[in-house]
Amino acid sequence: MATTQQDINNIVWRACDTFRGVIDPSQYKDYILTMLFLKYVSDVWNDKMDEYQKKYKGDKERAEWAMHKERFVLPPHSRFEYLYEHRTEANIGELINIALNDLEEENRDKLSSEDGSSVFRNIDFNSSNLGDVKDKNSRLKNLLIDFSNKNLDLRPSVLGGGDVIGDAYEFLISNFASDAGKKAGEFYTPSEVSTLIAKLTKSQPGARICDPTCGSGSLLIKAGKEVGSDNFSLYGQEANGSTWALAVMNMFLHGYDNATIRWGDTIGNPKLKEGDQLMKFDTVVANPPFSLDKWGAAEADADPYNRFWRGVPPKSKGDWAFITHMIETTYEGKGKVGVVVPHGVLFRGSSEGRIRQKTIEENLLEAVIGLPSNLFFGTGIPAAVLIFNKGKGDNAKVLFIDASQRYEQSKNQNVLRDKDIEDIVSTYQKFNNGELKAGILENKYAYAATFEEIEENEFNLNIPRYVDTFEEEAEVDMKAVAKKIKGLEKELTVAQVQMKIYLEELGLL
């Protein structure tokens, strides 16, 4: 029987109990997802080893020789089984640290940054933060016992696909997104929103795909899978060190060993370069941090890559800084951008208004899609998806979609259903196929606006200006209303007479 996401979630939840009250909830993911990763690579290694044992009729030496040619090397003391067998050792925290360090050392080309930074550098299983020696050892023993559960079989042959790290990360964030956990959910894109953006920006075989604020890498992986073949390359950058580590592990789990994931501030220190120029991509997708303060406006005028030639966004709101970076890193004539933004990006004035106007005048903006509120962990505000396309050609229209009322309510967040995603994607495809005519409102849902209309609105992209969802009230039949009032008055007169009779009988009048 295949291991389900619910099986993984149940074990992850039990593992949270190991750390509850000891460390901040925002740190749970560092320990739990790292152990999940170690369990996964161990199960994959065992699965492959079994294949070779059968192939070579039990010849262990030949099987081990073949394993050295596999995509990753797993030292004996780095395997989950070894750690589980030594779970009662007095130095179990140190043993886990050594296991992770040597696993990374043996696979340095896949599990390190270009400057040699360690994926596991922020994760110390021997830390005094986990309690005194006795308590720490007890917690780590329980953690290993949790992950030894027979329902947690992560071999590819029984796993049934899925985004193991990303889905478990989403589960952790959804349950610990309040208080300190909000920080952990700051950059996370819900699975359904990732699917939507990946479909809207569907890349062709051979594409270079980038997410400059890639978080755990789930959106980037979704965008790659939409290609429909293995002929694509993935690139990403992430400012948060522990989240960058999750992205590297996530790429490894999905077999994208050649993915390039860099650690650093995309605006202040872009790492994806060719020579002294920014690397260009066919597709750039992202869910940047909303309205980031102190994003680096002071240095933007002297940007060595001239990204902000349209204008410098305000220092307290970095939304257009990320959008500008994304646009500037796509290929001329064909590059496509899909980005999640807060609604203020659509209508705020001053420098943001001027930048927005220039992108529209360049005929780069293709679609503005309003999403339901409460989709994202840690914030209930509604967001929008903007699609920019450097290959629009002569089509100067912009598609507006109001999908804000199409969702399903769940326990903690609203959720986009498959049908909701399909409605958005099919409407976008109709627009690109020329099936949506300018000036005609489609089902109070979509509208293709001309440049002149947007110009008349002073380049304000607020969706209600274009998609009128107002429902007219039914016309009132005044004669019927008058007749009803007359009938009610008659009934009231009869009731008053009857009430007077009752009161007289009771001697109250």
Q: Spell out the residues 6+ positions from residue 168 whose beta carbon is closer than 8 angstroms to its own.
A: 8, 9, 12, 32, 33, 36
From residue 69, give the alpha-carbon distance in Å to each of 72, 252, 253.
8, 16, 18
Residue 166 and residue 221: Cα distance in Å, rounded?
10
* Residue 470 forms part of a structural domain: no
Based on the domain organization, do 225 and 123 belong to the same domain? no
Residue 106 and residue 95: Cα distance in Å, rounded?
16
- How high is the pLDDT of residue 467? 93
The residue segments making up the domain with residue 101 are: 5-161
Number of domains observed in the structure of the chain: 3
Based on the domain organization, do 82 and 198 belong to the same domain? no
pTM of the model: 0.85
Based on the domain organization, do 145 and 71 belong to the same domain? yes
Based on the domain organization, do 198 and 309 belong to the same domain? yes
- How high is the pLDDT of residue 483? 81
SS3 call for 261: strand
* Residue 151 forms part of a structural domain: yes
DSSP of 218-258: HHHHHHHHTTSSS-EEEEEEESSHHHHHHHHHHHHHTT-TT
Based on the domain organization, do 200 and 287 belong to the same domain? yes
Query: Any idea what the CATH number is for the domain that residue 454 is in?
Result: 3.40.50.150
Torsion angle of the four alpha carbons 351, 352, 356, 359, in this order, in degrees rounded to the nearest 10? 60
Cα 251 to its chain centre, rounded Å, is 15
- How high is the pLDDT of residue 178? 43
Based on the domain organization, do 246 and 383 belong to the same domain? yes
Angle at CA 376, nearest 5°, toward 404 and 162?
105
* Residue 95 forms part of a structural domain: yes
Based on the domain organization, do 356 and 227 belong to the same domain? yes
Beta strands in 408-490 (DSSP E): 408-409, 414-415, 446-449
Query: Any idea what the CATH number is for the domain that residue 136 is in?
Result: 1.20.1260.30
Token pair, residue 94, equals 């140190």
* Residue 460 forms part of a structural domain: yes
Based on the domain organization, do 296 and 384 belong to the same domain? yes
By the 8 A CB rule, do 314 and 239 touch? no
By the 8 A CB rule, do 308 and 321 touch? yes
* Residue 491 forms part of a structural domain: yes
Q: b/e map of 129-153 (b: 16 or more CB within 10 Å)?
A: ebbeeeebbebbbbbbebbebeebb
Residues in the chain: 509
Domain boundary among 161, 182, 216: 161
Based on the domain organization, do 232 and 278 belong to the same domain? yes
Based on the domain organization, do 460 and 483 belong to the same domain? no
Per-residue tens of pLDDT for the chain, all 509 residues: 677 888 888 888 888 888 888 888 778 888 988 998 999 899 989 989 999 999 999 888 898 888 888 888 899 999 999 999 999 999 999 999 999 999 999 988 888 776 667 888 878 999 999 999 999 999 999 999 999 988 888 877 666 666 677 778 777 776 764 443 344 445 578 889 999 999 999 999 999 999 999 988 989 999 999 999 999 999 999 998 888 988 898 888 888 888 999 999 999 999 999 999 999 999 999 999 999 999 999 999 999 999 999 999 999 999 999 999 999 999 999 999 999 999 999 999 999 999 999 999 999 999 999 999 998 876 788 899 999 999 998 889 999 999 999 989 887 789 999 999 999 999 999 999 989 888 888 888 999 999 999 999 999 999 999 998 755 555 667 878 888 888 888 888 888 878 877 777 777 66
- How high is the pLDDT of residue 158? 67
* Residue 471 forms part of a structural domain: no
By the 8 A CB rule, do 294 and 239 touch? no
Based on the domain organization, do 457 and 488 belong to the same domain? no
pLDDT tens string 251-261? 888 888 889 99
pLDDT tens string 93-142? 999 999 999 999 998 888 877 666 788 887 899 999 999 999 999 999 99
SS3 call for 286: strand
Q: Spell out the residues 6+ positions from residue 364 whose beta carbon is closer than 8 angstroms to its own.
A: 327, 388, 389, 390, 392
Residue 44 and residue 105: Cα distance in Å, rounded?
19
Based on the domain organization, do 293 and 421 belong to the same domain? yes
Residue 443 backbone class (left: φ over 0; alpha: ψ -120 to 50; beta: rest) = left
Question: Which is nearest to 462 in space by CA: 361, 366, 368, 388?
Answer: 368
* Residue 167 forms part of a structural domain: no
* Residue 185 forms part of a structural domain: no
Residue 194 and residue 200: Cα distance in Å, rounded?
10
Residue 344 backbone class (left: φ over 0; alpha: ψ -120 to 50; beta: rest) = alpha
By the 8 A CB rule, do 423 and 406 touch? yes
- Tell me, what DSSP letter sits at residue 77? G
Angle at CA 195, nearest 5°, toward 191 and 198?
135
Radius of gyration of the chain (CA): 29
Q: 400 φ, ψ to 5°?
A: -115, 130
- How high is the pLDDT of residue 205? 96
Question: Which is nearest to 212 in space by CA: 265, 136, 159?
Answer: 265
Q: b/e map of 279-293 (b: 16 or more CB within 10 Å)?
A: ebbbbbbbbbbbbbe
- Tell me, what DSSP letter sits at residue 412? S
Residue 504 and residue 509: Cα distance in Å, rounded?
5
Q: Spell out the residues 6+ positions from residue 115 whose beta carbon is closer than 8 angstroms to its own.
A: none
